[in-house]
Chain A
Amino acid sequence: MMYPPAAPAVIKSVLTANYFKCRARDFVSDFYYSFKDHPDWDKIDNWNALPNFNNPAIEKIITDKVELWAKELIDLRSRWIGISIFSYESHKIGKLLAEQIKIQDSTQKIFMGGNGVTNVNNHYPESLKEQGIIDAYITGEGEVSVVEFAKNNYDHPGINKKNFVKIEKSVIDDLPKPDFSDYDLSLYGKNNLGVYGDLNQRKDSPEGKDLYIENDLTLPITGSRGCVRKCSYCDIPFLWSKYTHRGGFEVANEIIEKTKQHGIRKFHFTDSLLNGSMKEFRIMCEILAKHNTDTGDNIVWSGHAIFRPKGQHTPEDWELMARAGASVLEVGFESASDDIRFSMGKKYTNDDIEYELSHCSKNKITVFPLMIVGYPTETEKHYDEYKDFLKRFHPYAYDKTILSLELGGTLRIQPNTPDDKNLPKIGVELIPMPDGSRNDLLWWNKNNPTLTLSKRIWRRFKLGQIAKDLGYSIPAERKDLTYLWSVWNQLKDIESKYLYERKNKN
C-alpha cells in the first residue's frame, strides 16, 4: 500500500489517448482497508499467497467482498472488464473475481493481463479461458496490445497467446503519462508499507533520524524497461530483451511535473533497475538535485538499483544521488559468496559491496539488500560465508544504512530464465508435481545432494535468526515463514517420493 498500482493507470492513459473510455479501480486498497482490522487479517491476507490454504470461513469472508466488487464492475456496463494479475499471488483472487462476475452476469466479457499471466509455470490464463471463466488474456507489455485488443484485433501478438513482442523504444517515448485520476491517492503511502514502514520507525532513533522521511503519498514512476544484466535466476531479459531508458531528462521532468500537479514529492521507480544507464541516471540526478536545491521541494525516490565494481560509482555520483533525493535503493546482492554471485551474473564482490555501502552511509542513502538462500551450488562452505557476510556488514545495519534485509523464500527456478536452461546441465533435476506440472521451488541437485528443499528452508531461517541477532531488520520474516511453512507441507512428501523412487530405479 505504498503507492497506487501503476498498470491500470498506464492502461487507462493509452486507451484514453486512443479515444476509448476506461475506468481504473484498485481493489487491493479496498481489500486492505476492508480487512486490516479484522481479527483474522493474517489469514485473510495469506489466503491470496497460499494455494493450499482454503479455509471455508476465510474464503466466505473474501467471497462476500469479491461479490460486491463484481457487482460494482458489472454496473459500469463496460464492454470489457480487464483484471490486472501481477504475480502468482493474484491468481486465486483474480479467478474468484472473474467467477463472481460470470455468476452475476454470464454475458460480461472479461480479460486478464499482467506478469501473472505472462511468465508462470502453470497454465493459468489458458486454463481460465478454456473453462470459459475469462474470455481473453493479454501477455507481455500491454501498452500497445490493449489498444489493438480494444480495436477487436485479436490476432495481435500476445493476445490469447504467449507470442507477445517487446515494444519499441519509440513507442515507450511517445506513451502518455500514467493517469491516476481514478484513484483516491490519499489511501496510499500510510499503511502496510513493507520495508518502507521501517523508515517510520526511524523518526525518533538517534541513528536513524537523518534517514527519516515522512511517509506520505508516493507515486510510481517508470524510467526504463529491462535490465543491463542477465542474472541467472531472473526472467526480466525474457520479458524485455534489451534495456531501454526513456531518457534522464524526460524522467526527471515527469517527476517534477507530478510534484507540481499532485503535490507529491515521493516517488518509487517500478524499473528493474534505475541506474542501468549511468549516463541517463546522472542526467536525471543532476536535474532533480538542482530542482531540490532551487525549490526546496525535497523530492525523494526509491527503487531497484545495482551495485557496481568499486569506483564505477564515483564518490561524486553518491553525493549527487543524495542531493537528487535517493532514499532507499533495493539492491540484489543475492549471494553472500563472491563465486556464487559471479556465477549468477552479478559482477561485483563483497569488497565492492563494502565500498558502495560506505558511500551510502556517508550520504545517508539507505539500502535494502535482496538475497537468495539455497542456490543449487550452495554448500556448507557457502553457508558459512553467509554467516561471515552478515557479521561483516552488520555495522551498516546498526547505523541503518542497511534499512532491512530480504532473505526471500529460497531459490525458485522460474521458466524462461538462464537457470531454467542451464541448471539441468549441471545436475539439477526439476521434480514434477503429481499432476505433471512443475513448481519453481521443487528441484534437486544430484551434484549437491544434501541441499534438499528442507535444507534450503532450514538455512533460510537459521540465517534469519543470525541476522536478527546481529541487528538486521527482516520485515518479511513472518510472511516468509507462513509461506514456506505452507509450501513445505505441500512439497516435502513429493520430493521424498521422487528421491525414493529415483533411488530404487537406479
Chain B
Amino acid sequence: MKEKIKIKLKISQNNHKGPNFRVLCDDTVLDECVNYKEDMYENSFELDLDKGKHQLVLEHFGKHPRDTDSVAKQDVAVQLVDLTFNGVKCDPVDLHENYFYPTKWPYPLELKMKNNLYFGYNGHYRYCFETPSTGWVLGQKKKHQKQLSEIEDFQISEDEFISRLETHIKKESNLVLSQGNTDL
C-alpha cells in the first residue's frame, strides 16, 4: 500500500560543518545528506509498504564530540520537528516515546534514550509504526490523549448529586470565605 511520509528537521551546525544524516524506512535508504548546511530539512517520500510493522529511521553520523563548541554555543545536530504520515502529523508524545540508539561515540552512553528529539550524538532514532499508517498515527494520538477525570458511568440521581455538592460546598467554605469579599 502507498504511504506518504513527510519528515521535517531543524538543523544545527557550527562554523565549519553541518550534520550528516540519513532517512531510512526499514532497510531502505530514502535520502542521505552530508555536511548539510541549511537551517531546516523537509522531504516527502512515497513508499509502497506491505501491511504490518515498519520503522522510519533517522540516522545521524560522522560527528565528533569536538564539533560541539560550547563557547560559541554551536553544535552539529538534527532535531526532529514533525513526522507526518499521509498528511496526518504524529503526536509529539508518540515521537518522544520512541527511542534513539547512540552509536560510534568515544564516551560511554546509555544503550537507548527517549524523550528527546534533539539528536546530538551519532546514532539512530527509530520510529516504529504500522501500516496502514493513517489509522496507526490517529490511534497513537488517541493513546496519548490527555484525559481529565474520565467518568465511566454518569447515572446519578438528582438527590445524590445534590448531597455530594453539599459535602463539597461545606469542604470549600473556609477556602472561599477566607479570601473573598462578602459585602456584595
Chain A interface residues toward B at CB < 8 A: 42-43, 46, 50-55, 99, 102-103, 106, 130-133, 135, 377, 379, 427, 433-435, 444-450, 452, 454-455, 457-458, 461-462, 464-465, 477, 481-482, 484-486, 488-490, 492-493, 496, 499-500, 502-503, 506
Contacts and interface: CB of A to CB of B under 8 A. Distances in A.
A493 B181 contact: no
Interface string B134-169: 110010010000111111101110100110011011
A179 to B, nearest CB: 32
Nearest to B138: A99
Given A50-B154, A131-B89, A458-B166, A481 B161 contact: yes
Given A461-B161, A481-B161, A449 B182 contact: yes
A449 B132 CA distance: 54
Interface stretch (B27-35, B109-117, B171-179): B171-179
Given A446-B180, A503-B178, A102 B134 contact: yes
Interface of B: 4, 84, 86-89, 132, 134-135, 138, 141, 146-152, 154-156, 158, 161-162, 165-166, 168-169, 172-173, 175-184
Given A52-B150, A458-B166, 20 more contacts: A42-B155, A43-B154, A51-B148, A52-B147, A102-B87, A102-B134, A106-B4, A132-B86, A135-B87, A446-B179, A447-B183, A450-B173, A450-B180, A450-B182, A458-B162, A458-B169, A482-B154, A488-B165, A496-B172, A500-B175
Contacts of A446: 179-181
B177 A450 contact: yes
A55 B156 CA distance: 17
15 contacts: A50-B151, A50-B154, A53-B151, A54-B147, A106-B86, A131-B141, A444-B176, A450-B182, A464-B158, A465-B158, A481-B161, A486-B154, A488-B165, A490-B151, A499-B176
A93 to B, nearest CB: 15
A255 B134 CA distance: 47
A103 B132 contact: yes
Contacts of A135: 87
Given A490-B149, A503-B178, A53 B158 contact: no
A102 B151 contact: no
B115 to A, nearest CB: 19
Given A454-B165, A457-B165, A458-B162, A499 B89 contact: no
Contacts of B84: 132
B175 A499 contact: yes
B169 to A, nearest CB: 5
Contacts of B152: 55
B90 to A, nearest CB: 9
B184 A447 contact: yes
A377 B134 CA distance: 50
A458 to B, nearest CB: 4
B168 A492 contact: yes
Contact of B180 (A54, A130, A449): A449
A461 B160 CA distance: 11
Contacts of A444: 176
A454 B168 contact: yes
Contacts of A102: 86-88, 134, 138
B179 A506 contact: yes
Closest 3 CB pairs of A and B: A449-B180, A106-B86, A132-B88
Contacts of B175: 496, 499-500, 503
Given A103-B134, A454-B165, A448 B184 contact: yes
A46 B152 CA distance: 12
A485 B161 contact: yes
From A99, A379, A464, A486, residue with most partner B Cβ within 10 Å: A99
A52 B148 contact: yes
A42 B134 CA distance: 31
B168 A449 contact: no
A55 to B, nearest CB: 7
A450 B158 CA distance: 22
From B84, B135, B150, B177, residue with most partner A Cβ within 10 Å: B150
B88 A106 contact: yes
Nearest to B146: A435
B180 to A, nearest CB: 2
Nearest to B167: A454
A38 to B, nearest CB: 16
Contacts of B141: 131
B160 to A, nearest CB: 9
A194 B97 CA distance: 46
Contacts of B183: 447
B132 A489 contact: no
Nearest to B86: A106
A502 B154 contact: no
Contacts of A448: 180, 182, 184
A502 B175 CA distance: 10
B169 A454 contact: yes
Contacts of A486: 151, 154
A342 to B, nearest CB: 16
B168 A377 contact: no
Nearest to A456: B165
A135 B156 CA distance: 40
B180 A493 contact: no
